[in-house]
Every structure is written in C-alpha cells, then in structure tokens.
Amino acid sequence: MNKRLAELKDIDQLIKMRWDNTIEFDESKSHSSYNDFEKECRSFLETSIKDDQWYIWIAEQDGIVISHIYIELIQKVPRPGRTTYPFAFMTNVYTLKEYRNKGIGSKLLSTINNWVKENKYEFIIVWPSDESINYYKKNGYVHSTEPMEYFPS
C-alpha cells in the first residue's frame, strides 16, 4: 500500500468514490445527475490538487485508490507574541467497502497526523459521524462539543 497526495491522474477514481460515499449514506441522492456532479467535482479536484489550500491524501494499492482523506488548511489571523500557523479541517474520509476494518484508514490518518506535526499546523478539526467517533478516538482524537452554527435564511 502506498500513501501519498492525490495527483491529477487520480481524479476519475476520486469522483467515483465521492459519489459512492454519498450514495452509501444517503440513498435519496442516487437520483441526482452523475454527469452534473462529475463536472462540478472534477473542477473542484483539478483546482484543489494544484493549490496549497487543499491536500487530498490517498492510500492506493496496485494503482487503485482504496482510501482517501481531504484536508483543507484554514489560515488564522496573526496575533502578537506568537507565530501563527494554520489549522487543518478534515473531511471526506472514505475507504472502499472491501478494504474496511483492515487498518488502512488508520494508517492513512497516522500519515496525516505526522504531516500536521511536521508542518506545525495548530490542530485538526473533524466533524465525525456517530459511526466514526471510535475510529477517531482510537487514533488519538478527542471528542469535543459541537461548535455554534449560523444558517442564513
């Protein structure tokens, strides 16, 4: 298994995985247009892979992307008396069904945790599903209370 940042050659697999991930947990979305989604997702991925705001980490085996985790860096406003480092927002954590419960996601997450430490990012934030809380806990994450939200009407 190889763990690395996604490249443009991975886009088709990443699009399909994002679609499958969404449908697996919300079948009502299966009536959406795959073609519309594919165009929007391709545009996002092409931009994201080239910039330094998003980092898409993948685990691959024999050229197949089997797991991925998306990280967005959030810049912080500088504060006097300290060096300011960004924090990381983790999202779209997904492993293909046939590769689950084999430690692949945990190995990929460990790679990201080390990358965050090496780059001195302040922390990682993730909003886990109820089903994934134990996955994060066993990988050193601390469950915290939900943040406040505002939804414009």
For residues 152 and 61, the model is more confident at 61
pLDDT of the residue at 101: 93
Model confidence band, residue 129 (pLDDT cutoffs 50, 70, 90): confident
pTM of the predicted model, to two decimals? 0.91
> Options 3.20.20.100, 3.40.630.30, 3.40.50.880, 3.30.460.10; which CATH number does 2-138 get?
3.40.630.30
CB-count burial class (<10 Å; 0-12, 13-18, 19+) for 130: exposed
Whole-Å CA distances, 9 to 45, 62, 81, 116, 147: 11, 14, 43, 25, 36
Q: Is 17 helix (H, G, I), strand (E, B) or coil?
A: helix
- pLDDT at position 152 is 87
Backbone angles phi, psi at 144, to 5 degrees: -125, 170
- Above 80 in pLDDT, residue 6? yes
- Residue 118: which pLDDT band, with cuts at 50, 70 and 90? very high
| Alpha-carbon span 107 to 11, nearest angstrom | 22
Q: Per-residue confidence at 145, pLDDT binned at 50, 70, 90?
A: confident
Query: For residue 7, which of 43, 50, 42 has the smallest C-alpha distance?
Result: 50
pLDDT of the residue at 31? 74
How high is the pLDDT of residue 95? Answer: 96
Domain boundaries, the chain: 2-138
Considering only residues 22 and 60, tell me which one the structure prediction assigns the higher pLDDT: 60
